[in-house]
Amino acid sequence: MTKPVFRFAPSPNGRLHLGHAYSALLNDALARRFGGRFLLRIEDIDITRCRPEYESAILEDLAWLGLDWEKPVRRQSEHFSDYRSAFERLKGRGLVYPCFCSRKHIAERIEAIEAESGEGWPRDPDGAPLYPGTCKNLSPDEAARRIGSGEAHAWRLDSDAARSRLPGPHGFTRFTPDGATNTVEADPWRWGDAVIVRKDVPTSYHLAVVVDDALQGVTHVVRGQDLEAATDLHVLLQKLLGLGAPLYHHHGLILDSGGDKLAKSRKSEALFELRARGGTAAEIRQRLGFAF
């Protein structure tokens, strides 16, 4: 029987904090418990925000915590061609369309729609307004002409086309640390026409994560609850691309003393700061409930 495969997949756009430590330690602990492998994947598609020095710092912090992972580490920025070929498959099946809109244009469009209708426009689970479809009905000639003239564009999922092929119901298998599983209903349509390939990078988080989980044979995805809603879209992409689906466990988030989610953007206390103040890896493990 092949061994279960777990992965911790941080983005090197800042230093790791306690929430990352929890996720990494939980992946490692569950990999051990299930007799599985533990991989580290560097999710650095965002070339404007990710930096090599953050990647080295991540490796250093994880090693300090006492973690060890299989080498070589997969670095997403070295695999854009894999995401490209997955995208081409979607494109070949008429499941994506180019979108030339700027964020500003979308915001203005939504504002106008809301003012006209007097009703709120639907938001996706991250709170962003669903794409209003401005570029959805461009003629193929017009779209090709604009692409040919070098106009910046993203590629969006045509959720109507996807829905007519795969109406659902959709779902994913959730597992708990004691090994129990159950099926959870998924609603990919609440993401609307999600961006599959960004304007600035030749993929998106959603596309890269499903491609990599499949290519690396990941069987168990363990990540924070903040990514649970994204799983609804991931299971749709897996089906559209004919990829297998891992099992999922979305763990609770480590909150700061004010009850807020830890975040790099809020300058939450980083592991290296705890370390600099004399904290030990054993204390952190204990504080996070991994005193074993």
Please list the active-site residues.
264
Closest-CA residue to 199 (of 243, 155, 265, 254)? 155
Cα dihedral: 256, 262, 267, 271 (round 10)? 90
Q: Are 211 and 28 in contact (CB under 8 A)?
A: no
Tell me the pairing of strands 154-157 and 195-197.
antiparallel
Site for ligand GLU in 218-257 (CB under 6 A): 223, 227
Q: Is 150 exposed, middle or buried (0-12, 13-18, 19+ CB in 10 A)?
A: exposed
User: Which of 138, 227 has the CB closer to ligand GLU?
Assistant: 227
**Residues across the chain:** 292
The dihedral sign for the CA sequence 213, 217, 221, 223: negative
The least distance separating ligand GLU from the CB of residue 128, rounded to whole angstroms, comes to 17
Place of tokens 């307004």: 129
Rounded to 5 degrees, what angle do the CA atoms 55, 60, 62 make?
A: 95
Question: Whose CA is closest to 37, among 74, 76, 69, 75?
Answer: 69
Q: Where in 186-225 is the site for ligand GLU (CB under 6 A)?
A: 209, 223
Q: Judged by CB under 6 A, does residue 18 bind ligand GLU? A: no
**CB of residue 26 to ligand GLU, shortest distance in Å:** 12
* Cβ atoms 225, 255 nearer than 8 A: no
Residues 102-141 contacting ligand GLU, CB under 6 A: none
Q: State the greatest distance between any 2 C-alpha atoms of the chain, in Å, as a whole number.
A: 63
Q: Is 9 a binder of ligand GLU (CB under 6 A)?
A: yes
Q: Within positions 36 to 95, which residues make up the interface with ligand GLU, using CB under 6 A?
A: 43
Nearer to ligand GLU, 55 or 158 (CB): 55
Q: Which is nearer to ligand GLU, 113 or 128 (CB)?
A: 128
Which region among 5-13, 49-57, 85-93, 257-265 touches ligand GLU (by CB under 6 A)? 5-13
Query: Interacting stretch for ligand GLU, rule CB under 6 A, among 8-16, 90-98, 259-267, 269-277?
Result: 8-16
Question: What is the closest distance, in whole angstroms, from the C-beta atom of residue 144 to ligand GLU in the complex?
Answer: 34
If the CB atoms of residues 4 and 10 are measured against ligand GLU, the closer one turns out to be 10
Task: Write down the least CB distance from residue 43 to ligand GLU, Å.
Answer: 4
Contacts of 246 (CB under 8 A, 6+ apart): 213, 218, 219, 220, 221
Task: State in angstroms the smallest separation of the CB of 13 from ligand GLU.
Answer: 8
Among residues 5, 6, 10, 172, which is the contact residue for ligand GLU, using CB under 6 A?
10
Residue ranges in contact with ligand GLU by CB under 6 A: 9-11, 43, 209, 223, 227
